[in-house]
Amino acid sequence: MSRPGKVRALLATLRIANAPSVVSNVFLGFMVGWIQVAEFWNPANMDWGKAGLAALSGLMLYFAGNLANDWFDRRWDAEKRPERALPSGLFKPGSYLTFSLILAIGGVSLGFYLHLLCGCTAVLICLLIAIYTYFHKRAVWAVIPMGLCRVGLYFLGYFVWWLSLDYLQTIGYASQSLALDKLKIPAMLGVGLFSYIVGLSLSARYEGMEDPPRAPQTISRIMLLVPFVAMSAAFLSEDLIPSLIGMIPFGIWLTLCLTRFKKPIPRYVSALLAGIPLVDLIAATPIVMGLNATMPTLGLRDLPHLVAMLVIPVVAFILGRLLQRLAPAT
């Protein structure tokens, strides 16, 4: 095959179309952690370098998981998906495994460089990747470690700022209970993202069957709706209108997924995958609008880091859809 053909096959293996959503997940977690512990109204305090490294760590772990998954499934793909890179002989299986390990080590190392808890989160993500890779063709519950891998991206970004909480404790401004209380928001966001990923995965598993069981289908529909509540639960009471505004893009896209993009199955799953950054936007909108409302002397143009919270999910959504034309998302 020509070199462009090999590049496209490799991009398909890496699920490059989903990479923007990984960046969006990590950045939302990063910003939530930073807003909780820093002078968020001062752009000078924003550390874009750490944000980039956290996103890079998440991408390396994501790509490592995809390479490992295709390496482990190579015999199954040889029977069911012979057009894929490994069964078609475009790459040697050992190269996938080698680069998967290199990327995993790189992602974990970056995590530990950012913070001990970031490194521990990266290690946990690797463990979840291994569990999912081994069981995903064997058991339906493998969607759970898959969903938890995505949730881990929030905490990979969030824990970059945990050192600041440690520092505040040493000077008497925060107690351990207050520090743990901060985790409630990323935990709720994690519930929303986890539910969406599990609902998406169940849809992909059962929608293609000729006579799929109704229970998993019903569960998948419910879980696809959970983000409406979970991603906005922490903000509804104080920022009702911004919370509702944040739901609109996701609501429109989910409706399109369940109607216009419902068939064929690969199109449906690809559309749902593209919608992951819009899940982030549900939470980002009330956070940004709520903070902006507390600073009447400043406009969003004075707060580029907050603008980025709104822009990055939208750009990730658009870029993800465009990249799906280059290589399949599944």
Q: What is the mean pLDDT of each run of 10 residues along the chain (330 residues)?
A: 74 94 98 81 81 98 96 87 84 92 98 96 98 90 94 96 70 59 90 96 71 76 94 83 94 95 88 97 91 62 83 97 89
pLDDT attached to residue 217 = 77
Q: Using alpha carbons only, what angle is made at residue 230 by residues 175 and 265, rounded to the nearest 5 degrees?
A: 140
| Contact between 277 and 55 (Cβ < 8 Å) | no
Give the integer Cα–Cα distance in Å for 234 and 243. Answer: 10
Q: Give residue 183's Cα distance to chain centre.
A: 18
DSSP characters over 56-86: HHHHHHHHHHHHHHHHHTHHHHHHH-TTSTT
Q: Which two tokens stand for residue 178?
A: 């207050």
Q: Which two tokens stand for residue 262?
A: 């419902």
pLDDT attached to residue 64 = 97
Residue bearing tokens 């398909």: 12
| Contact between 11 and 327 (Cβ < 8 Å) | yes
pLDDT attached to residue 178 = 61
Give the integer Cα–Cα distance in Å for 15 and 40. Answer: 34
DSSP characters over 218-282: HHHHHHHHHHHHHTTTTTTTT-HHHHHHHHHHHHHHHHHHHTTT-SSHHHHHHHHHHTHHHHHHH
Give the integer Cα–Cα distance in Å for 70 and 57. Answer: 20
pLDDT attached to residue 140 = 85
| Contact between 27 and 52 (Cβ < 8 Å) | no
pLDDT attached to residue 96 = 93
Helices 184-206, 276-293: crossing angle, 10 deg rounding: 160
- State how far the alpha carbon of 188 is from the alpha carbons of 62, 88, 146, 226, 276, in Å: 22, 43, 18, 11, 16
Q: Which two tokens stand for residue 269?
A: 């799953």
Residue bearing tokens 């404790």: 169
Residues 6+ apart with CB under 8 A from 105: none
pTM, full prediction? 0.92
- SS3 of 87, please? coil
Give the integer Cα–Cα distance in Å for 258 and 222. Answer: 12
126-165 burial, b if ≥16 CB within 10 A, otherwise e? Answer: bebbebbbebbeeeeebbbbbbbbbbbbbbbbbbbbbebb
Give the integer Cα–Cα distance in Å for 260 and 42. Answer: 44
* Number of helices (H), then strands (E), in the chain: 15, 0
End-to-end CA distance of the chain: 22
